[in-house]
Structure 1
Amino acid sequence: MKSVLIVALGGAMGSVLRYLLSAWALQHSVGWRFPVGTFAVNVLGCALVGVLAGLLVKHHVFSPEVRLFLFTGLAGGFTTFSAFGLETFNLIRRDEVLIAGSYVVSSVVIGLVVLWLGFSLVSARG
């Protein structure tokens, strides 16, 4: 139960940070067609997870509870794209480039297809 609360606290904080950054980006990109808010969140989330993962590998500075809070909670609430990026990066680091490529392509393509299917099922006129 303690782990769930740690993740929930980090997730809540990450979600609020995502909202604030997206709102700020939206205010500063009025009229843009590019989704700058989501882009900024994804890039910043990947940068954050990269720095944290680097510190973890080099210095072993985080306890299991802190890792849960930072990676699963905070970063996960901020953007799951950072987890996707870290998983892909770790596959590449292990020289599993084919698996990394198939993970990226299948995640994007299948994700978009099932999004379209779900949208179509619910919004269909019947």
Structure 2
Amino acid sequence: MKSESSFNLKLTLFSAALFLVSWLVSRFAPPAFVSEFLVFIVPFFFLMTLLTRIFTKRINAKDPKKSLAVYLGASGIKLFLYLIVLVVYGLLNKDDAPAFFLSFFFFYLVYTFVEVKLELKISH
């Protein structure tokens, strides 16, 4: 349980810092380079990461042998959901789509890296 709260605390602190940076960028960067929805991307990834973690931990507690399959399945579902978000946003906001896509991709990479790094720290 301690590892769970450690993961959640580190993820929350990291997300808060990232949110602050994204808010500052959205306020002071030229509007042509920043998506109007930049500040919503960090909370989205925070919630997705947290919900995925909760889901996988509950399933793994019931049957630890399925942990890899559950993690890979959850990652696949998450990736598909991200694709849906990008397609819908691109169709609804064509003008803002390039800036949003770049921001989304950046945060996707950052959160994927942090999630894997925290998971590896906890599992070892």
In terms of fraction of residues, the more helix-rich structure is 2
TM over 0.5: no
Larger radius of gyration: 1
The TM-score normalised by the length of structure 2 is: 0.40
The TM-score normalised by the length of structure 1 is: 0.40
